[in-house]
Amino acid sequence: MRVLLLKEPKDGESGPDPYIKELESRGHKGTLLPVLSFKFVSLNTLTDKLFQPEKYGGLIFTSPRAVEAVRMCLEADERREEWHKAVKNKWNTKSIYVVGKATASLVQNLGLNPLGEDTGTAEVLSRLIIEREATNIPPLFFPCGSIKREVLPTALRENGVPLETLTVYQTAEHPNLEKNLKNYFTEQGIPASIAFFSPSGVKFCLEVVRRLSAEQLTQIKFAAIGPTTQDAIAAEGLCVSCTAEKPTAEHLAIAIAKTLQ
């Protein structure tokens, strides 16, 4: 059956996207459509902070985009050299927290040692941080997006763990989103399942999806990558058929395959 995955294809990877591969191995045809576009901001400020690890108690990454922003700060040869010679090792004496395997993998590419890749959500990660960190540490540094949820900052603040945030990317609707969705529905028809990967994706896509599927909307099995996205779909009055147990390609494909049986 056809499954529409509302996320951008994995870049810089050889071979098919893992979500497509996992669905195919279970007899389903997946199509990826990018939903969001990102604009990086405050990179000079980010660079300054990255090269002053002594001021911080550790790092927090809850999205691949935040790690991408760091990578962009290291593009200059002299910066990269300084990072690999000394700076990354100073950060590695501290805790580097991440949500999810995709973010963990990108953090490892920077030469950093991530903690918490199995947490899956900001809620669970915040509990791990609160368990591990004292309240008298220097602030944890959290580069994040413009529409981050306040779950993690609120939990840390309430438990006295110091935090410093910096917005390093802004999220907007992908410029071709509506056109790409129309093309998909025209060429392939109504998909058996549509998977959402973020509350922003739900916000930007749902109205177009409702319009294009019309009275057949109720036939679509809606899938979510995690509980936050599930809540966003449910808040729009739609039934969520399945949610991935963990935010990985394999767990999402298992959940979708089960609901499409």
Strands 36-40 and 163-173 come out as antiparallel
Q: How far is CA 113 from CA 58, 105, 116, in A?
A: 11, 10, 10
Percentage with pLDDT > 70 across the chain: 98
The three-state secondary structure class of 134 is coil
pLDDT at res. 13: 52
Nearest Cα to Cα of residue 49 among 165, 169, 171, 170: 165
Q: Is the pLDDT of residue 118 over 60?
A: yes
Average pLDDT over residues 118-143: 94
Of 77 and 149, the structure prediction assigns the larger pLDDT to 77
pLDDT at 108 over 60: yes
Assess whether pLDDT exceeds 80 at residue 140: yes
Domain boundaries, the chain: 2-35+175-260, 39-171
Cα–Cα distance, 26 to 148 (Å, whole number): 33
pLDDT at position 8, please?
Answer: 87
Average pLDDT, the chain: 94
What integer pLDDT is reported at residue 141 of this predicted model? 98
User: Residue for token digits 């050299």?
Assistant: 81
Rounded Cα distance between 75 and 6, Å, is 30
Whether residue 251 has pLDDT greater than 80? yes
Helices 177-188 and 199-213 cross at an angle (nearest 10°) of: 50
Q: State which H helix or E strand residue 40 sits in.
A: strand 36-40
Which pLDDT score is estimated for 121?
A: 85
Q: Is the pLDDT of residue 10 over 80?
A: no
pLDDT of residue 11: 59
Name which of 22-31, 129-138, 146-155, 182-191 the model is least confident about.
146-155
CATH topology (fold) of 39-171:
Rossmann fold (3.40.50)
Contacts of 149 (CB under 8 A, 6+ apart): 122, 199, 228
Give domain 2-35+175-260's CATH number out of 3.40.605.10, 3.90.1150.10, 3.40.50.10090, 3.40.50.300: 3.40.50.10090
CB hemisphere CA count around 33 (13 angstroms): 26
pTM, 2 dp: 0.79
Same topology, domains 2-35+175-260 and 39-171? Answer is yes
What is the per-residue pLDDT across 144-177, written as a single tens digit (0 to 9) for each?
999 877 999 999 999 999 999 999 999 999 999 9
To 10 degrees, the CA torsion angle through 83, 88, 89, 91?
140
pLDDT tens string 177-198:
999 999 999 999 999 999 999 9
